[in-house]
Structure 1
């Protein structure tokens, strides 16, 4: 009997990984061990920004700034075509890395929200680097829900730029919650992302469905422009 591929998610979740729906197990087994990359294509039914009428104007500059480094989604909309590319590779520090590059095809031009994931040195969580320059890093804790869906919650966020390495205060940071499930009826993955601030409430999110196709990473490789411009070693 051959052992199952040791992906980032399987390593962190342990036996709980087996409680995921089989389609989710395959999607989150993408890695160097499996030799597979995954491309999801679908539609986001809704992409939204939150904030009270008093707070929302102050959020706009953060969305605009984040968009320059492919962090956050600066626009809202409905029925927006969506692609997510999960490709494993070994980064310049020798770590197994998986891309989570999301492209939203808004009218007038696409917007990207880039992330690359590695195993935290402690081995009990995933480290999620955000953006083209990996300025932001978040701890992710995935769990299997009773219905076979996957729930991912973020933990501590850190900001890195040159010698600067600081924890993002909860007052200005966002707590992310990602829920992904597989719908047997439609044969599609369902995803819902919600980011909230502990003081100001919901900040942004999106929800929709997509299908997945798998590719041999040894033959397709990592396409140009998918990897970050700068890689960060600090965990």
Structure 2
């Protein structure tokens, strides 16, 4: 199989910084997982959203729990082929708040028409993703309109749009990765962000070692 980002980026994948390319070169045949550990220097959740909405999506591991600073985190990458034959990259993030650990889980799928990111354990949310490579070799992910998976099949547009931007690159001076994720709405502005740094290592991992959380509770074939 082909790693999800190489499949979508094609020859542009070779323009990634070598360390970023290494990060995203594992696939379901690699026999490894990749484990990152670091610090989110800033985690932000807007107060403009109704608290029950934040609680609901945080409970389902689709939102960070709350705003904070200097939050230790771990991030595991696990690859497998799902029942529909799609190459998948599960990203399991753990935010180690002082009040307890909370998770933010997503599943990237190399779909029929491009890259799709499912968020939450349900999954709860769907983002179509457009990846690209920046001049310095960072990986840039920009989303189309978010779609809710527990409701009508429509994208949120106009004043209801929620779009995600994620960039990950290599810091030569500090010899570590940097990441910056933001979700914005044209009315509210910034809905959430988490940004910081981490290091990563490969770890032997068979399909039997992949955590249960890497599989969504329900297999979803909807990609738009």
* Fold similarity call, TM over 0.5: yes
Within 5 Å, give how 1:1-235 maps onto structure 2. 6-50=2-46, 56-122=47-113, 125-161=114-150, 164-218=152-206, 221-235=209-223
Q: 8 Å contact 2:162–2:183 — kept in the other structure?
A: yes
SS in 2 for 1:111: strand
Q: 8 Å contact 1:160–1:166 — kept in the other structure?
A: no
How big is each residue's C-alpha offset from its partner over 1:8-53, in whole Å with a ceiling of 9 and x where there is no partner? 1011111111111101001111211433321111111111134xxx
Structure 1, gaps ≥5 residues long: 51-55
In 1, Cα distance between equivalents of 2:76 and 2:222: 24
In 2, Cα distance between equivalents of 1:91 and 1:223: 14
Q: CA deviation at 1:60?
A: 3.0
In 2, Cα distance between equivalents of 1:9 and 1:34: 15
Q: 8 Å contact 2:3–2:87 — kept in the other structure?
A: no
SS in 2 for 1:13: helix
User: Could you tell me the TM-score, scaled by structure 1's length?
Assistant: 0.88
How big is each residue's C-alpha offset from its partner over 1:128-154, in whole Å with a ceiling of 9 and x where there is no partner? 011101131111111110011111101
User: Could you tell me the TM-score, scaled by structure 2's length?
Assistant: 0.92
Q: 8 Å contact 1:170–1:197 — kept in the other structure?
A: no
In 2, Cα distance between equivalents of 1:229 and 1:63: 20
Q: 8 Å contact 2:146–2:163 — kept in the other structure?
A: no
Q: CA deviation at 1:219?
A: 7.3
Q: CA deviation at 1:200?
A: 1.9
Distance 1:140 1:27, change over 3 A: same
